[in-house]
Structure 1
Amino acid sequence: MTDRLPHTLRSDARDNRERILDAARAVFAAEGLTVPMREIARRAGVGPATLYRRYPTKEMLVTEAFTDQMRACQSIVDEGLADPDPWHGFCLVIEKICELHARDRGFTAAFMSTFPHAMDFAAIRAYSLTSVAELARRAKDAGRLRPDFVLDDLILMLMANSGIHASSPAARVAASRRFAALTLQAFHTSPASSPLPPAPRLVPGVSTHRRNPTGETDG
């Protein structure tokens, strides 16, 4: 029993970390960065002492949650680059990044505006854009991506994707998937008529959306 205790404690600590970060990302995305730390601890199912022991300040918690988000984004780009079929890899990146942003609900923008000096955003952005540019070049060379595609098209697509408003988080993700499918057909050299994901019911207009503390509207 004594020999197994350290491993058990380490496992519990890992589980607590994941629960805390999962709860933090969900709460920050839905309600903004002003949510009290005690509320995050409650939703994570841990005591406030456990939360503060690992994250003494909210900035430390938000930064780690955001870092995990950036790692997920970079992992998606790396997965796309590793695909032997460059068009398939390009599609994978578009689809997964759109879904990640749909689940994000403004968390990234809120973090960058609240803690502008917490991370080197320029380096993160440069890495992502350089990697996607390389993937786009390969897809063009393979004759699958339209030759007039430029990175500004990707940025425009992500801006549009971030503006999706829906009646529920699930509907927002479903709408994002459909939008990504439509966009990829437009990016293809010869758009195919492959079936689109189901069309969700969207909330018309933005007047019914409450604003979070960052000034952005929530779906």
Structure 2
Amino acid sequence: MTSPPSDQTPCRPPGTGLRVDAERNRDRILAAARRLYATEGLGVSMASVAREAGVGKATLGRRFATREELVNAVFADRMDAYAAAAAEALADPDPWHGFTGYIHAVCAMQAADRGFADVLTMTFPAAKALEARRTEAYNEFQELITRAKTSGHLRDDFISQDLVILLMANAGVVAATGDDAPDTWRRLVGHMLRSYAAPGAPIPELPEAPRSTALYRATVRLARTGPDTTWVGGSGQ
């Protein structure tokens, strides 16, 4: 006769083990995608993510049917931080300081995570939550622009598209310099903030330029590897 289960061998409801395994696989996939996207950008293929996570492509497909679903899950918290940065800038009693602080904060997010640098310069229509947070941040940035212009410190000809241009340029600098000259983006942002300032506005201090030897190493590496062209309209599967 079978003995009743002891306290050391608890019974699990039917299907519980499968749910636990599924959740574990999802966590592994997300962790692997974060690592790869952060260091290599969004050009990483879904197959590479599956290999990094130690799961099959079929398992990956069950958890995330499309790349956009995976990107949405990986970067949800970062898009929250992106939107929060805009709200924090609006709360600054000094509109110009809030504006410059926001620009620097967003570019710092790009520099810290190459995948997020890509996310900020792309759109993902199927990733509803991610795009909703992007829209929220964009609307608040529009208000930030108006306040900074009213203060007399932001140039009248600055428009929201200029931020997109800056983010594209910064993403390129981050990808090109890599670990060879990781703070180069600060110099770019410093120059751009000066160009946005109206006459008489407080000018942010210009960060030091990277050493020529560091830039040389970056150019040599870039010449060997070539520009990242793996993500073009969703290619690189």
Indicate the TM-score class for this superposition, using the shorter chain for normalisation.
Answer: 0.5 to 0.7
Q: Distance in 2 between matches of 1:76 and 1:68?
A: 12
In structure 1, the partner of 2:159 is 150
1:157 and 1:111 map into 2 onto residues whose CA distance is 13
**Match for residue 230 of structure 2 among 206, 213, 219:** 213
CA deviation digits over 1:51-84, x for unaligned, max 9?
x79x833755432112222112111111111212
- Name structure 2 gaps, 5 residues minimum: 1-24
Superposition deviation, residue 95 in structure 1: 0.3
Give the % identical residues. 33
Query: Offset at 1:22?
Result: 5.6
1:33 partnered with 2:44: yes
Distance 1:170 1:160 in 2: 18
1:160 to 136, 152, 169: 169
Give, in angstroms, the shift of residue 180 of structure 1: 1.3
Q: d(CA) in 1 for partners of 2:188 and 2:121?
A: 24
Which residue of the partner structure matches residue 204 of structure 1?
219
- 1:87–1:145 contact (8 Å) kept in structure 2: yes
The residue that corresponds to 1:140 in the other structure is: 149
Alignment-derived partner of residue 181 in structure 2: 171
Aligned positions of 1:52-201 closer than 5 A: 56-57=63-64, 59=66, 60-102=69-111, 103-105=113-115, 107-108=118-119, 112=123, 116-119=125-128, 123-164=132-173, 165-169=175-179, 171-172=181-182, 174-189=183-198, 190=200, 195-200=205-210, 201=214
Task: State the Cα deviation string for residues 119-143 of structure 1 (Å, max 9, x = none).
Answer: 2665444322211111111112222
Deviation at 1:182?
1.3
- Please state whether the residue corresponding to 1:171 is helix, strand or coil: coil
Instruction: Provide the aligned length of Structure 1 versus Structure 2.
Output: 193
Q: CA RMSD in A?
A: 3.8
Deviation at 1:198, TM superposition (A): 2.3
* CA distance in structure 1 between the aligned counterparts of 2:185 and 2:160, rounded to whole angstroms: 19
Conserved? CA contact 1:66–1:111, under 8 Å: no
In the alignment, the residues of structure 2 paired with residue 19 and residue 104 of structure 1 have an alpha-carbon distance, to the nearest angstrom, of 20
Letter paired with 1:184: L
Q: CA deviation at 1:91?
A: 1.0
The alpha-carbon deviation at position 188 of structure 1 amounts to 1.5
**Structure 1 pair 22/150, CA: closer, same or farther in 2 (3 Å)?**
same
Q: CA separation in 2, counterparts of 1:152 and 1:111?
A: 13
Residue pair 1:33, 1:110 contacting (<8 A) in 2 also:
no
Alpha-carbon distance change, 153 to 118 in structure 1, aligned in 2, over 3 angstroms: closer
Larger Rg: 2
For structure 1, which runs of at least 5 residues remain unmatched after alignment?
A: 1-15, 43-47
Tell me which amino acid in the other structure corresponds to 2:176. A
Task: Find the aligned partners of 1:61 and 1:23 in 2 and give their Cα distance.
Answer: 11
**Cα distance 1:212–1:136, how it changes in 2: closer, same or farther (>3 A)?**
same
